[in-house]
């Protein structure tokens, strides 16, 4: 299991990235959501995978539609 300091460092790293002016608003929003999720987890709590398969399916569909648009 990852050390709690890893989680804290990850939150800090994401914070630094989303402060960059060239980061798109959608990425900034996603970063803030991830920070919120990381901050809510209890020490030692395992990550869940709810929505992971749906996100992967959505990404596959987006890639397929981009290839068709070429």
18-61 pLDDT, tens per residue? Answer: 999 999 999 999 999 898 888 876 667 666 666 777 878 888 88
Cα separation, 12 vs 37, whole angstroms: 14
User: How many domains, in total, are found in the chain?
Assistant: 1
Q: CA angle 48-27-7, nearest 5°?
A: 45
Domain range for 59: 4-69
The pLDDT score that the predictor gives to residue 47 is 66
The model carries a pTM of: 0.55
C-alpha 41: how far from its chain's center? 14
C-alpha 47: how far from its chain's center? 13
User: Which of 53-62's residues contact partners 24+ apart within 8 Å by CB, and which partners?
Assistant: none
């Amino acid at each position: 299991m990852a050390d709690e300091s890893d989680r804290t460092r990850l939150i800090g790293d994401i914070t630094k990235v989303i402060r960059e002016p060239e980061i798109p608003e959608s990425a900034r929003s996603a970063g803030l959501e991830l920070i919120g999720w990381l901050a809510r987890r209890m020490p030692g709590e395992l990550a869940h995978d709810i929505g992971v398969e749906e996100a992967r399916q959505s990404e596959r569909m987006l890639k397929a539609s981009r290839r068709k648009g070429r």
